[in-house]
Amino acid sequence: MSERATPTSRRHHTVPKFYLRGFAEGETVLTVALPGHRRYKQSVNDASVETDFYALPGHEAGDDVFEKALSSVEAAAGAVLKKVSSGMWPLGERDRTTLSYYIALQAARTQSQRRTADSLAAQIMRLDIGLGGQARFRDRLQSRVGELGEGRLDELWKQSVRPEGPPIRISNARFTEQIRSTAESIVPYLVGRPWTLVRFDKRSLVTSDAPVGLVQQPDENPWEGVGYLTAWGVTMPLTRKLGLVMGDPMPFADKVPLERVRRGELDTLMPVGTVQMEKFLNEQTISHASKWIYLHPADERFVPDELPEPNLVSMQMQGEPWEFNGEPWGRVKTEPEHDGGRNEPGSSQ
């Protein structure tokens, strides 16, 4: 008798089901769509799901090979979280590394990271097309697709140099490789921090579609960016009753060997989470959310009255977008004598 092939998984969670269950009533979470006007209950099976989000069509191990790889990381992390929930703290180095890798993957695998990757790719292509000029754009396009009418060429040019860039989407292969490389680069900046576990009794935590938060250094301007290297801390709600703060390593940098930090020797426990700590962690989670907040249906009172607008991307180019008039930038032009023959970026012949 032949074996039945395992069905290919197409419903991919950008926030895993096992994690969402830590904020659920049974299998149900309350979902708040930013900025908070729409709220509804849904199953953890349906929250944060995208069809074929990580699919790699034609892969020899199956289209859902990356989804299966994520599932194996989630299973290992779930086992560690069970230990923490049952009272184990601090964690040993192996469990600490397992949890760090899961958190790093969660930071890299979200829908906002995908939208950011698409947005940055579109902006880079916009610059390449705009700086090259409309004639070069026409030649490159027609070499690929053949002759196009002037009206169609003009339409495509305008679409390509609009402020948001051309409507492109990076491949799943490129995005999944970005997830892997980004997670690997983040892990050292998690395991090298002193961790504080906060346990809550009467208070509760919420989570979101982008639950890993970065806390700026206190002396930095709010508008400045923050990364895993420079952040004062990294936060993540582990369950509705457990919060993790990965603190600033700098006070210990010259005093405690990194090996001791990685082993968790500097990790601490806050056995009873305060109101201030609950608000701090929930504010971090909500401020980093992209479109949705998830919480236990009984915990709605811990959601602030005022919520931010959706934040669809996590990074974008600063400043006003350059304008392009169809002429290539940086071309040498012959100027009248009074101008000394200078080359002016953006000038036309």
Is residue 318 assigned to a domain?
no
**Whether 224 and 270 share a structural domain:** yes
DSSP state of 57: T
**Whether 104 and 173 share a structural domain:** yes
On average, the pLDDT of the chain sits at 89
**Whether 106 and 200 share a structural domain:** no
Residue with tokens 């990685």: 262
Share of the chain above pLDDT 90, in %: 66
Lowest mean pLDDT among 62-71, 172-181, 320-329: 320-329
**Whether 249 and 155 share a structural domain:** no
Domain count, the chain: 2
Contact 207, 243 (CB under 8 A): no
**pTM, to two decimals:** 0.86
What does the radius of gyration of the chain's CA atoms come to, in whole angstroms? 25
Which of 57-61, 203-207, 340-344 ranks highest by mean pLDDT?
203-207
CA-nearest of 104, 84, 98, 96 to 258 is 96
**What digits encode the pLDDT tens for the residues 253-309?**
888 999 999 999 999 999 999 999 999 999 999 999 999 999 999 999 999 999 999
333, pLDDT greater than 60: no
Is residue 326 assigned to a domain?
no
328, pLDDT greater than 90: no
Is residue 282 assigned to a domain?
yes
Q: How confident is the model at residue 161 (pLDDT cuts 50, 70, 90)?
A: confident
**Whether 125 and 198 share a structural domain:** no
**Whether 44 and 144 share a structural domain:** no
Which of 163-177, 199-213, 216-230 ranks highest by mean pLDDT?
199-213
Is residue 244 assigned to a domain?
yes
336, pLDDT greater than 80: no
Q: How far is CA 72 from CA 46, 68, 76, 143, 228, in A?
A: 20, 6, 6, 45, 25
> Which domain covers residue 90, as residue numbers?
51-187
Is residue 316 assigned to a domain?
no
222, pLDDT greater than 80: no
**Whether 153 and 281 share a structural domain:** no
Residue 299, phi then psi, degrees to nearest 5: -110, 20
Looking at 132, 153, 187, the residue that finishes a domain is 187
Strand order in the sheet with 28-33: 38-43, 28-33, 292-295, 207-208
**Whether 181 and 208 share a structural domain:** no
Lowest mean pLDDT among 70-79, 203-212, 259-268, 309-318: 309-318
Q: One-letter amino acid identity for 132?
A: G
**Whether 210 and 263 share a structural domain:** yes
Q: How confident is the model at residue 142 (pLDDT cuts 50, 70, 90)?
A: confident
Is residue 337 assigned to a domain?
no
- Which comes out higher in pLDDT, residue 24 or 320? 24
The pLDDT score that the predictor gives to residue 329 is: 78
180, pLDDT greater than 90: yes
Looking at 187, 211, 231, the residue that finishes a domain is 187
**What digits encode the pLDDT tens for the residues 6-54?**
678 899 999 999 999 999 999 999 999 999 999 999 999 999 999 999 9
Lowest mean pLDDT among 8-22, 123-137, 190-204: 123-137
Is residue 122 assigned to a domain?
yes
5, pLDDT greater than 70: no
Is residue 338 assigned to a domain?
no
**Whether 75 and 164 share a structural domain:** yes
Alpha helix (H) residue ranges in the chain: 17-20, 65-85, 93-108, 111-132, 134-145, 150-160, 172-186, 188-191, 258-262, 275-288
